[in-house]
Amino acid sequence: MLALYLAQIVNSGLALGAVYGVMALGFSLIFSASRLINFAQGELLLLGGLTIMSLAGVMQLPPAAALLAAAVAGFLLGRTLFSTTLGLTLRATPLRQLMLTVAASLVFQGVAILCWGKNPLMPPRLLPLPDLRLGLFFLGRDTVTALALAVAAVIVLGLFLGRTRLGRALRATSQNAVAARLQGVDTVFCHALSFALAGALASLAALAVGPQTGLRYDMGLGLGLKGFAAATIGGYTSLGRVFAGGIILGLAEAAMVLTVSGEFKETAIYVLITILLVAAPREHDERP
């Protein structure tokens, strides 16, 4: 019986954790480049997922095209978010910039209601990966899909940041924006790029979470907060640690659902977020 519970926790926890991990990568990118927490990240997932669902229904997209379309749609949504918020207020106070992202999340939620309504929608499984059995552990196709998307996102993002000129410019901006500007780096472009890449990540996460839970107009805030908590657990600076933060959070949530109560889960997770915000290392706040 214990092995059965453990296997179920691993299967559910990895499916959720992979989604939280990808969301956390988006938080980490934007925070590193601009020292801003983007509370519209969850709505980027929602709008990206709904857009791909509609495109896939109309155009009958094959898996590779669906992946590309999701990345492009998320990229454009993230770039639009930057152009309408931080891009207009680069010299504004952090509180004002933060509230702009909150306002943008409400606007995006309103757009989702106007275009797709309030009823939950179940998108098709665009990536037909099979179930996987590893000894005692059984990973369902939703878990396999979420993990495959998340690991691919971590690898591609790592290669982009480490091996390309644009990626190195983004890293330089995150380490010291003033020094990067003096070396000829267009830091405003790098800020915009971080939002666009975060949007692409959120849209890919929608392909993983959509077939698990469906897409609903009010799901963005919860997913965004959990992505934020995962990024805080991981420390924002390392892609691997940030993604691991999402996996830890997903496993903890699955364990609480199966061993305590599904109703208690949300309360416990938000208590954890509060503790993390209080206990997070101060170096994240003090970095220039």
Decide if 230 contacts 205 (C-beta within 8 A): no
What is the structure's pLDDT at 279? 73
Angle (CA) 82 207 16, round 5°? 95
**For the chain, which domains are there?**
1-279 (1.10.3470)
CA angle centred on 221, ends 219 and 222, rounded to 5°: 70
Give the ranges where 62-183 is alpha helix by DSSP (H). 63-84, 94-116, 141-163, 165-175, 177-182
- pLDDT recorded at residue 115: 94
pTM exceeding 0.95: no
Q: Which long-range contacts (CB under 8 A, 24 or more apart) does 267-273 make?
A: 269/226, 269/229, 270/225, 272/229, 273/225, 273/226, 273/228, 273/229, 273/232
In the prediction, which pLDDT does 257 show? Answer: 81
Query: What string of pLDDT tens digits covers the 288 residues of the chain?
Result: 677 778 888 988 999 999 999 999 999 999 888 888 888 999 999 999 999 888 887 877 787 888 888 899 999 999 999 998 888 877 788 888 888 889 999 999 999 999 999 999 988 887 878 888 877 778 889 899 999 999 999 999 999 999 999 999 998 988 888 899 998 899 999 999 999 999 999 999 998 898 888 999 989 888 988 898 899 888 888 889 999 999 999 998 888 887 776 667 777 777 877 787 777 655 554 443
> Closest Cα partner for 137 from 13, 265, 262?
13
CA 53 to chain centre: 18
The DSSP secondary-structure symbol of 235 reads T
What residue type is assigned to position 118 of the chain? K
Distance from C-alpha of 131 to C-alpha of 155, rounded to nearest angstrom:
23
Q: Are 173 and 191 in contact (CB under 8 A)?
A: yes
Q: Are 41 and 26 in contact (CB under 8 A)?
A: yes
Cα angle, residue 227 at apex, residues 222 and 229 outer, rounded to 5°: 95
Sign of the torsion formed by the C-alpha atoms of 175, 24, 244 and 65: negative
Q: Return the pLDDT at 280.
A: 63
Name the DSSP letter for residue 121: B
Residue 137 zone, left/alpha/beta (φ > 0; ψ -120 to 50; rest): beta
Residue pair 129/2 in contact (Cβ under 8 Å)? The answer is no
Which of left, alpha, beta for 225 (phi over 0: left; psi -120 to 50: alpha)? alpha
Of the candidates 51, 47, 52, the one whose C-alpha atom is nearest the C-alpha of residue 66 is 52
pLDDT at 287: 44
CA distance 45 to 38: 12
* Cα dihedral 173/179/185/189 (nearest 10): 40
Q: Please state, in angstroms and rounded to a whole number, the distance separating the CA atoms of residues 11 and 287.
A: 37
Give me the pLDDT at residue 282, please.
54
Q: How far apart are CA 139 and CA 204, in angstroms?
A: 20
AA letter at 87: G
In sequence order, what are the residues at sequence separation of 6 or more whose Cβ sits closer than 8 angstroms to the Cβ of residue 91?
Answer: none
